[in-house]
Every structure is written in structure tokens, then in C-alpha cells.
Amino acid sequence: MTTSPLVETVLRWYDENARDLPWRRPEASPWSVLVSEFMLQQTPVVRVLPVHEAWLTRWPTPADLAAEASGEAVRAWGRLGYPRRALRLHAAAVAITEQHGGEVPSSYDELLALPGVGDYTAAAIAAFAYGQRQVVLDTNVRRVLARAVTGTEFPPRSVTRAERALGAELLPSDPPTAATWSVAVMELGALVCTADRPRCADCPVAGLCAWRQAGSPAYDGPPRPVQTYAGTDRQCRGRLLAVLRDAPGPVAEERLDLAWDIDEQRERCLASLVADGLAAVDADGRYRLP
């Protein structure tokens, strides 16, 4: 067991404050964990919960999803946003079925080779589904470590070698404890050490926090990106995809014209949906999910 006061304190806090989430329960399958990791990318837990439940009910195994057309994955994705994740999740299910006998692989390298799986996701699945000792660095974890250990309000834009070294240094030697630490510090970042208006008065490690001890200095690094949505191509694509998702069959382009009134942007976004594999065009010129 680690002797780090930070790690021990966060573990105790998590033991009392962990949310009851289906992919964290002892009976959760590795597939449930994998699906949750795809869905939680840039999407709040509250929006993921009903879709995750419906997904696992319909497709309880990777093989069940792999047997369906990729368009059904896009349809079931609903309004979670960033629908290319649905295509990647479907492709991962196909790869798991064809290359791993339908079982989500346990090794980091095999997970990393799956479609749509990057460093964070591979480490998270290995840790959370299989109890392995992995350095898991998502946005929440990086923010907690930046504040508590390095004394800065926000971490760098992308993961650095120094962050990986710090993550490895703090990781408990016992694999199950290491896996719990990874989810515990992530939970602290999600619930208490949030990006905006952190709840420092409720933080179990406030007394150990280097950022607090320094007087909570404001972030002075490169400007943080501000996401906009209204009027963007992303919103336009979402409107068009919603028409295709809700339609019982292929739809004429005239029907899609009603979803967005800026012709040039609509045509560009429709073409991009086809190019991304999120939509298909029939021989008669009508559009549908793939």
C-alpha cells in the first residue's frame, strides 16, 4: 500500500462518496466498461446512463452489436453527440468478435489496437474492467494532479511526460488498489475539483493542495479553448443526422432541407456525414443511416 497522504486520503473519500454507476458494479462486464468509456468521452454521466442501459439491454455482448449494421449503432446513440463514437464502438465490437473470440481483451496493447481506443481508454478499460495497475490520465485526473501536486489551476493542453511520470509515481503498487485510486481521483475531479467553481471547502485534500497553498493563482497558460455550438457545422450535422435517425427509412434531400436553412452549410455538412460513414446515399438519391 502506498504511503502517500494524497492517495490514502482520496481513497478514503472515494470509499464514502463513490457514485453507484452500472459500469462500476462488481457484476459489470468488461464490455459494459468499454461501452461506458466510449460514451463518457465529452459527455456527462447523467446523459450517458439511460443510453448505456438501453445499449447493454439490446447488445449485451460485442458479438450482438457486431451482428447489426453500423447504422443501428448510430441510431441507438441518440443525442449523445459526437456520433462517430458510435461507428468506432461498432467497429471495436466487430474486431473483438473476429479477433478475440467475442471477449474484450485484457491487455493494454490489445485494447489499444481496437478501433477508437486511444491511450487513456486502453488504460481505463484495463484498470476498471480487469483491476490492472495502469496510469489513467483523463481530464479530471490531470486537473486534480495539476492543482494538488504541481500547484497550477489547469494541466497543459495535452498529456506531458512529466504528467505520466507523476501518475506513475503516485500509483499504488498493489494492482487492485491502483485501479481503485485511478477511479477515485477521477471521481474527485468530476464531483469536487471541477474545472469551474471547484468545491475546495468540501475537498478532502484541500490541506494538501499545492494550488490552495499558493493562494489559488489564476491560470496563466495558453488560452483554453471555448466550445461553441449554435450555428456551427456540428449543430448542422446533428440536425441532419436526427432526421435520418428518426426516419423509418431513406429520406429525400428535400426533407433534409427543412432541417437547416443555410444551403451551402447544409450541403457541406451532408457531404461530410456521408464521407464520415454516418450517412449513405441510395441509388435514387435518398439518404439513410449506413
Residues designated as active site = 37
Residue 62: all three cell numbers together: 460485442
**Interatomic CA distance for residues 56 and 93, integer angstroms:** 13
**Interatomic CA distance for residues 9 and 168, integer angstroms:** 18
Q: DSSP state, 118? A: -
Q: What's the angle, vertex CA 31, arms to CA 30 and CA 37, rounded to 5?
A: 90
Residue 20: all three cell numbers together: 453507484
Output the CA–CA distances (angstroms, integers) from residue 221 to 139, 145, 154, 157, in the order listed: 16, 16, 8, 9
**Interatomic CA distance for residues 144 and 230, integer angstroms:** 31
Q: DSSP state, 171? A: S
**Interatomic CA distance for residues 64 and 70, integer angstroms:** 12
> Where do we find the cell 461507428?
87
Beta-carbon neighbour count of residue 247 at 10 Å? 16
User: Which residues contact residue 110 at a Cβ distance below 8 angstroms, ignoring those fewer than 6 apart?
Assistant: 100
CB contact at 8 A, 269 and 259: no
**Interatomic CA distance for residues 159 and 192, integer angstroms:** 22
